[in-house]
Chains A and B, each alone.
Chain A
Amino acid sequence: MATTAQFRTCPDTGFRIHLAADKLIKWNAVTAVVFLLVGGLFGLLVALTRWPAVHLLPADLFYLALTAHGLDVLLVWIIFFEIAVLYFACSILLNSRLAAPKVAWLAYWLMLVGAVMTNIAVLRGDSSVMFTSYVPMQAAPDFYLGIILFAVGALFACFVFFGTLVIAKQEKTYEGSVPLVTFGALTAAIIAVFTIAAGAIILVPTLFWSLGYISNIDTLMYKVVWWGMGHSSQQINVAAHIAVWYALAAILFGAKPLSEKVSRGAFLLYILFLQLASAHHLLVEPGLAAEYKIFNTSYALYLAVLASMIHGLTVPGSIEAAQRKKGLTKGLYEWLRKAPWSNPSFSGLALSIIMFGFLGGISGVMMGTEQLNLITHNTTYVPGHFHATVVTGTTLAFMALAYWLVPVLWQRELVLPGLAKWQPYLFGIGMGLVSLFLMGAGTLGVPRRHWDMAFSDAAITHDFPAAAFLMMGLNGVAALIATLGGVIFILNMVGTILWGKKKEAAPAPQAAPEPQPAAAAGAYGGAGTMAVPGTFVLALVFLAAFVLYYFVNWKYLASVWGLS
C-alpha cells in the first residue's frame, strides 16, 4: 500500500492538510449548506402556515413542506456537515491522510443521490408522511429508498473515519491519545453507526411494504426501531457539536480542556447512555412497560444529561482559564466581557452553549420524565425543545465553525464581514424565540404538526386561549428573524467560496486573538487548573433555573390532572 498522499500546509493554522481530505471536507460542507437553505425555507413556510393570521399554505402543501423541512435540515444538512467534521477531526487534526478517499466519494454520492431522491418523492406530493413516516401512512418507494441510500452513504463515511483512525495510529502521525476534539467526533461516529443500523433495520422492510411485498408492518414495532434512528441521529448532533465547541474554544483562545479525563469520561457516558433516551418518544405508548420507559428515559438518560452538564461547564471553563492566563483576571467576568463578541465564531459558540443548555437541556429533561411528559406530549412544546437543541445548539455551533473553517480551507476572506458580526445574534436569538414561543404554546396544549389550530373546518373543535394564538403568531415573526440570519449565513458562505478575496500569503487570522492557537485543537493535555469562578457561578445559575423549572412543571402537572 505505497500511497503517495499529497499534503499542503495551511498558512493560517500550520495544519498539514491531506489534499483528498481537503476536497471531501469542502464538498460535504458545501452540500450541507445548500440543503440548509432548502430545508430552512421549507421551515419558514411551516412557521408562516402555523401563524394563525397568515395561515399561508393549504393543508396538503403544509404537510409536504413539513416533511421536506424535517428531512432536509434534521437529516441532510446536519449529517453532511457532520461528515465534514468527522473528516476534519480524523485527518487534519491527526495530521493523517484520509483512508480510502474513493470510498469517501462513493459515500458522498450515495448520500447526495439519496437526499435528492427523497426530496423529489416529497415534492411530488405523494409522500407527505412527515419526517417520522409512521406506518401505516405510506410514502412512495423512492422516499424510503432515498433515505436508505443516504444512510448507507453516511455509514461508508463512518468507515472512512474509523479507517483513518487506524492508519493514523499505524503511521504514527500523532502520539499518545487522540485529541479531545477527535474523541468527540469518535463519539459522534459511534452513535452514527447505531443510528444507521436502526434505520436500515426498519426502513428496508418498510420499503418492501411500500412496494407491496410485505402486507403489514406493526406500528409499535416501527416506532421503536425507527426512533432508534430518529432520536439517535439527534445525538450524533449533540456529540458532534460538543466536539465543535471544544474545537472552537481551542481555535479562538488556545483553550485546553479543564480536565482531559473528565471530558473524555463525559463522552464515554454519551457512548453508553445517550442513545437509550430514544424511548422518550414512546412514553405514552401503551404496549411498552413502565420499567422500560423509566429505565431508558430517566436512569440512563440522567447519566447522559450529567455528561452534557459537564461539557457545558468545562467548555466555558476552559475559555475562562485561557483568558485568565492572558491576564483578564479582574472580577468574575472580565474574561467574558473582553471576549471577541463581534467575531461570529465566538458569538455563535457562546449562544450555542447558553441556549443548548438553558432552552434545550432543561426542557429535554422535563419532557423525558415519564409523568411530566403527559403535559406536553405531541404539543408544539416538542418542536420547541428540539429547535433549541438542534438549531440553536447544533446548527449555530456548526455555523460558528464554518466562519473559521471556510476562510481557512478556501484561503479566502469573508465577503460580508460586517453582516457576519450580526448573523449569529439574528439567527440565534430568532431561533431561541422560536423555541420559547413553541414551548409556550405547547404548554397551553397547542398540538404539533397541526395545520389549523382554529379547527375551522373540523367536526370536533377546541378553543385555545388567546395567548396560544398570540404565541404562534410571535413564533412566525421569530422565524422570519431567524430566516434572515440563516440567509445572511448562506450568502456569506457561498459568496466567500465563489467571490471571496484570495488571502495574501501568511496573513494573521482575522478576528482570532492569537496567531496560531488553532494547533491547540489538535493537542492533548488539560489546562491544569480548576480556578474558574465565573463559570462556576454561571453553572449555579443554570442549576437554579433547572430545579425551579422542574419543580414548576410538577406543580403544573398536579393542577392539570384533577384527581380529587
Chain B
Amino acid sequence: MAEQEPGATGTTGPAAGSGGQGEEPIPFMQQVLDSPFLLLFIGVTMPTVFYILWGVINITSIPLAN
C-alpha cells in the first residue's frame, strides 16, 4: 500500500487554497469528483443511453405481426 493519501493527515482537503504551503495542482480525478454538475450529467447520461435508449431501440426493432 504505497499509495499517497491526500489529506490523510490534515483536517482540510488538499484543494484548500488558503493556508496550504504547496502550490500542488489539484489532481484531475479530484477535480472531477469536486464537480457536482459534471457528475450529475454523467450519472443521468449513462443509464439513459445504456439502459433506456438501448432498451427502447431493442423494443422498436421488434417486427410487428401482420
Q: Enumerate chain A interface residues (CB-CB to B < 8 A).
A: 162, 165, 175-178, 183, 186-187, 189-191, 193-194, 197-198, 218, 220-221, 224-225, 228, 232, 259-261, 264-265, 268, 271-273, 275-276, 278-279, 282, 287-289, 292, 295-296, 300, 523-528, 530
Contact = CB atoms under 8 A, between A and B. Distances in A.
A78 B55 CA distance: 28
Contact of A198 (B37, B40, B52): B52
A224 B46 contact: no
Interface string B3-28: 10111111111111110000000000
A226 to B, nearest CB: 11
Contact of B47 (A228, A282, A288): A228
Nearest to A260: B7
Contact of B40 (A190, A220, A272): A190
Contacts of A165: 36
B66 interface: no
Give the residue among B5, B15, B37 with the most A Cβ atoms within 10 A. Answer: B5
B46 A176 contact: no
A282 B54 CA distance: 13
Given A190-B44, A287-B62, A292 B55 contact: yes
Nearest to B9: A528
A363 B51 CA distance: 22
B7 A526 contact: yes
Contacts of A176: 7, 12-16
A264 B17 CA distance: 21
A530 B2 CA distance: 11
A224 B51 CA distance: 8
Contacts of A265: 29
26 contacts: A162-B36, A162-B37, A165-B36, A175-B13, A175-B17, A190-B36, A190-B40, A197-B44, A224-B52, A224-B59, A225-B52, A261-B6, A264-B33, A268-B32, A271-B39, A272-B46, A275-B43, A276-B46, A278-B47, A282-B55, A289-B58, A524-B13, A525-B10, A525-B13, A528-B9, A530-B1
Given A260-B7, A524-B7, A183 B50 contact: no
Contacts of B14: 176
A275 B58 contact: no
